[in-house]
Structure 1
Amino acid sequence: MKKIILINGYRVGNPSLPTGLGYVAQAIENAGFDYDVCDVNLQTHEQIVQIVNDSKAHYVGCGTMSYEVEKNYELLQAIRKSMPNVIIILGGPHAIAAQQEIFQECPVIDMVIQGEGEEAIVQLLNGSPLQSIPGILTKNSQTGRIPYEFLSIDSIAFPKYRKFDLKKYGNTMNIASSRGCVYNCSFCGAPKFLGEKWRAFKLDRLIEEFEYWYGKGYRQFYFSDSLFVLNKKRVIDFCTYIVESNYNDVVFTADGVRADHLTVEILQHMKNANFKSITLGVESVNDNILKFFNKNETFSQIDNAISIADSLGFDISIYLIIGAPEETYDDAIKSIMYPMKYKNISCSIFSKLTPIRGTPYYDYALQHELVSDKSICYPKQEVYGTNERLNDRNAVEEIWSSLLPAIDKMSRFLTMRNQIKKGLVCLGFYNIGVNKLNILTRISLNPFLSVFVNASIRFAKLMGLK
């Protein structure tokens, strides 16, 4: 029986359950083929090479983003050296973006699966002719249309991760309840990588997956969809089911949430169903920058949605992008300072605008000669921090270094504010306003005044004061 080793090459630092690889693994398992799973966040290159070598596998399949892709190339080269005859397959966003150039970047790769891999990998293992398998790209084939429309989403089994070491991925279960993105934000490659058509699993299928993992003991769930709330009725029906079924001990997080999809009604339903956290892409507080990003929503819409979510007590995380053309230092500072407005914004994730292959901004950056070396389009990490390989021809570099102290200061501020808010809740102070909370945070960050504040809080706790 043919065997394949699947490698999660998404280098995210802290291990995060690779949902996409899980779907591919489940398709292989349901088709009756043998496989094993490796993860670059859990194992060294040497350990992975040894696993592949010991398994005598026929195939190795690796998924990769563009960031740190060269490290995955090094791993695949080591595998080829150890097993000269193994067939190496690459998938994931970078494989879609680079297309035929992938074989020049890493000659040890034998083929690429573009788009969704569940059916393609099974057909490959079944021995189907390569030219008959949608999405297969080889060194001698021509790049074709990525075959998202060939895969019926209702036929896909959700992943059960039987060969994944789940205890190493924490106590939160990731659920991807939909695929694709109908928007075309300039900094994002989701439509190219996931498909331009939004396709969602039906409510019954979503409930089945949730209840399966609930039965396995999971109580924290993370929805990783790009557009979780696009179909409001589906979300409301799911939330209603959770409430009416008395799943009172669960906690949900929704990551892919657009502000213009959120209303008081839908946020209230989500709150009732124990959605505690949401993550929104704010990107900028400047409407001109939002237009450049092609967000198709205004800052007023974004701010209104966050205001509603804040008033309902959601824990809110936001994404901000620094470095749009013509963005000034003052523009960026206004975006950096935005979390000061709402007490329940607990985290700001800052990203430097980077020309990642497969995004509209990549084409813009090349057209406007913002980059001269394509290798800089592989950022070292997807979000957070800096990409030092960007050169000084990119306008973002003119302000990024000067903004780092403000970004660091805001990160420390939010960390302290979160701690103070939790402490006040323990003391029974539930409704403190954002202005007072910000003042307490500033005081606590002052080493001289914080001694007095901490003593006062301890005294209030001892006396049972509220």
Structure 2
Amino acid sequence: MRVILIYPPCFYDRPGDEDHTIMPIGLYYIASYLLENGHKVSLINGHNVSYSKEYFCQLIQEEKPDVVGFSVFNANRVNALKGVKWIKHINRQIITIFGGVAATFMAEDFLTYCKELDYVVCGEGEITLLELVNCLQSKDRNIEQIKGLAFRQKDEVIFTPSRGFISDLDSLPNPAKYFTYNHVLLSRGCPYNCSFCASPRFWQRRCRFHSPAYFVEQLKLLYSKGVNFFYVSDDTFTFKKEYVLEVCERICKEKLPINWFAISRVDALDEEIVKAMRKAGCIQISFGLESGSLKIRNIFNKHIKEEDAVKSFYLCKKYSILPRAYFIYGSPGENEQTIEETLNLIEKIKPINSIFYILHLFPGTKLYDEFRTKNLIKQESLNKNPEDILYFELDPNLTKTDILRFGKKLRNYFYSNLPRYVLDMELSSDKEFYLHHADFLSRLAMTFSHGDFAQNKYLKNQEEVAWELFVRSLKFSITERAFLGLGILAQKRGDYKSSISILQKGLKYFPKSKHLKMCLGVSYLNCGDKKNAKECFKPFVHIDPKAKDYLRECR
């Protein structure tokens, strides 16, 4: 059969948050599984197309699908429902299917309120969807025998028995054979039981792993297609230490020149893991700390210790991995005191990046179930809330004004102290990590001079911080990025002579660097030295339109 799998866009735009635009890795696995079993599959990322009825008309006319499936989570469910309605309006013979976390926990709601939706795949999707597609293709449609499925029978929503998890993840086709992407997984599931997260119920607190060999082979295939940066999306990448060390060892043995981000817990990390991950290209680890208040962490079932948090953040900085902290505010019992406790924790761990979220209640989480049981969340909220349900809206002790004040206080404290956290970092004196230190500091400097921190309204003196970081970077090792950054900052100051001196020094180490030469040409041009500027731009006129424009200015 011809199948289209779609990842709908979120209902609201999320400026600055790119994670939500990335196709879920699960869709690549499901598509690969269908392909290897003889079906034709197309993948559509709704964030990259004009998501509209007109687009679906054209898509259906060109692809002529038998089945269209949607990957659904809470924030994109409205657009998923729109897509289903558009499809049935265009061609009622097309079978429509939902899958994903929100679809699993809202299957009855979706099937009740959306008559255009035919099936919901509940839980892990590969085998269930394949069996469903095979069944639809055959004349004998014994749908009730397929495990892990929900559908309507007359006016009743039917759930078939749940399907067990795939025991051997390596038995699944490697999606990198068919697709190019940069979100990867070593494992599925999480053993922890956070009350704000749907993972415990979706994965039943079980954690299954690919072999390190399978995982690194996937990285190799993707690298051969031009991917050199990865998001390792495991809930807790470092949960199985021996696998992490083997993965890192294999990456180093293969000499894969890649960088990657990972997610961990502060109680699932030690110095050996951090060192191995940095050598293998890891440059950022994110940790969910949620709150500095023990009372709130207990409500969240987030049983971590402050001393573990302090140690993990220290180790990451020591070996040049950027530690990022996730915090949640607007929680049950939140008040000025608990916010102060979070500020105290921030001061203790001194993170190099922090993300602050308002508490949302997601279907499938313990918190959501508690409030729905108390009848505080109505079934009709599916239609009334375009995206998420904010906890504070259900709590008479919290107001929108409180939430805005808490968020501003947290962000202001973190960003106003971030320059100090950055400049006070203690990096390892082990020379084996000097190249990593130089890379880390120059990357971080770029974040202050050109990246996210450069435009942050809470931050001050970004360029001064960036200058210091670039200088420190060069003390560990020579990097093109550091010379380029210093050259650009000198230009911004109007000190073109210093810029020329810095860039000329950089070119002694990196004589073929286009970036350094182009930057040098700009400094010459601003000094009125068109002759030398022309020599800088000439080599690149055929590969960079900017070089051609600059060359015209040299006449």
- The answer to whether the superposition gives a TM-score over 0.5 is yes
Contact preservation (8 Å) 1:321, 1:351: yes
Letter in 2 for 1:80: K
Which stretch shows the higher mean deviation, 19-28 or 122-131?
122-131
Letter in 1 for 2:409: A
Q: Structure 1 residue 193 and structure 2 residue 202: aligned?
A: yes
Partner of 1:295: 302
1:359 shift after superposition: 0.3
Q: Structure 1 residue 142 and structure 2 residue 142: aligned?
A: no
CA distance in 1, matches of 2:378, 2:397: 10
Q: Structure 1 residue 89 and structure 2 residue 105: aligned?
A: no
What's the % identity of the aligned pairs? 23
* Higher Cα Rg, which structure: 2
Bigger helix share = 2
Distance 1:184 1:377, change over 3 A: farther
Partner of 1:448: none
1:122 shift after superposition: 1.6
Distance 1:56 1:350, change over 3 A: same
CA distance in 2, matches of 1:98, 1:389: 22
1:372 shift after superposition: 5.6
1:391 shift after superposition: 5.3
Query: 1:70-92 CA deviation, whole Å, 9 max, x = no partner?
Result: 22211211111111121110001
Partner of 1:265: 272
Letter in 1 for 2:87: I
- 1:121 pairs, out of 119, 129, 136, with 129
Query: 1:413-460 CA deviation, whole Å, 9 max, x = no partner?
Result: 55256765443232236799xxxxxxxxxxxxxxxxxxxxx9699999
CA distance in 1, matches of 2:463, 2:105: 42
Q: Structure 1 residue 40 and structure 2 residue 43: aligned?
A: no
Q: Structure 1 residue 18 and structure 2 residue 24: aligned?
A: yes
Query: 1:156-205 CA deviation, whole Å, 9 max, x = no partner?
Result: 1121374x6x5xxxxx7111111011111000001222342100001111
Partner of 2:169: 153
1:17 shift after superposition: 3.4
Partner of 1:50: 58
Contact preservation (8 Å) 2:356, 2:411: no
- 1:238 pairs, out of 240, 247, 257, with 247
Q: How does 1:172-191 map to 2 (within 5 A)?
A: 173-191=182-200
| TM-score, L = length of structure 1 | 0.82
- Report how many aligned residue pairs link the two structures: 431
Partner of 1:315: 322
1:114 shift after superposition: 0.7
Partner of 1:99: 107
Partner of 1:28: 34
- 2:412 pairs, out of 393, 409, 414, with 409
1:312 shift after superposition: 2.0
1:10 shift after superposition: 5.5
1:314 shift after superposition: 1.1
Q: How does 1:300-449 map to 2 (within 5 A)?
A: 300-335=307-342, 338-339=345-346, 341=348, 345-367=351-373, 371=377, 375=381, 390=393, 393=396, 395=398, 397=400, 399-409=402-412, 413=416, 415-416=453-454, 421-428=465-472
CA distance in 1, matches of 2:408, 2:382: 24
Q: Structure 1 residue 251 and structure 2 residue 259: aligned?
A: yes
CA distance in 2, matches of 1:378, 1:394: 23
Secondary structure class of the residue paired with 1:139: strand
CA distance in 1, matches of 2:401, 2:205: 34
Query: 1:124-157 CA deviation, whole Å, 9 max, x = no partner?
Result: 2222621222211111353355424255423111
Distance 1:150 1:235, change over 3 A: closer
CA distance in 1, matches of 2:311, 2:387: 31
Unpaired segments ≥5 residues, structure 2:
136-140, 419-452, 477-491, 503-555
Letter in 1 for 2:333: E
CA distance in 2, matches of 1:304, 1:422: 26
CA distance in 2, matches of 1:265, 1:286: 29
Query: 1:341-390 CA deviation, whole Å, 9 max, x = no partner?
Result: 556x33222111122111001123335565567527997668xxx95994
Contact preservation (8 Å) 2:23, 2:45: no
Secondary structure class of the residue paired with 2:117: coil
- 1:133 pairs, out of 146, 152, 156, with 146
Q: CA RMSD in A?
A: 3.4
Contact preservation (8 Å) 1:321, 1:352: yes
Secondary structure class of the residue paired with 2:75: coil
CA distance in 2, matches of 1:233, 1:332: 37
Contact preservation (8 Å) 1:323, 1:396: no
Contact preservation (8 Å) 1:69, 1:378: no
Query: 1:276-301 CA deviation, whole Å, 9 max, x = no partner?
Result: 11111010112221111101222332
Q: How does 1:220-231 map to 2 (within 5 A)?
A: 220-231=229-240
Contact preservation (8 Å) 2:77, 2:387: no
Letter in 1 for 2:234: D
Secondary structure class of the residue paired with 2:123: coil
CA distance in 1, matches of 2:495, 2:202: 51
Secondary structure class of the residue paired with 1:123: helix
Distance 1:316 1:337, change over 3 A: same
CA distance in 2, matches of 1:283, 1:107: 39
Query: 1:96-119 CA deviation, whole Å, 9 max, x = no partner?
Result: 111322212322111110111111
CA distance in 2, matches of 1:378, 1:202: 44
Distance 1:87 1:271, change over 3 A: same
Unpaired segments ≥5 residues, structure 1:
167-171, 433-453
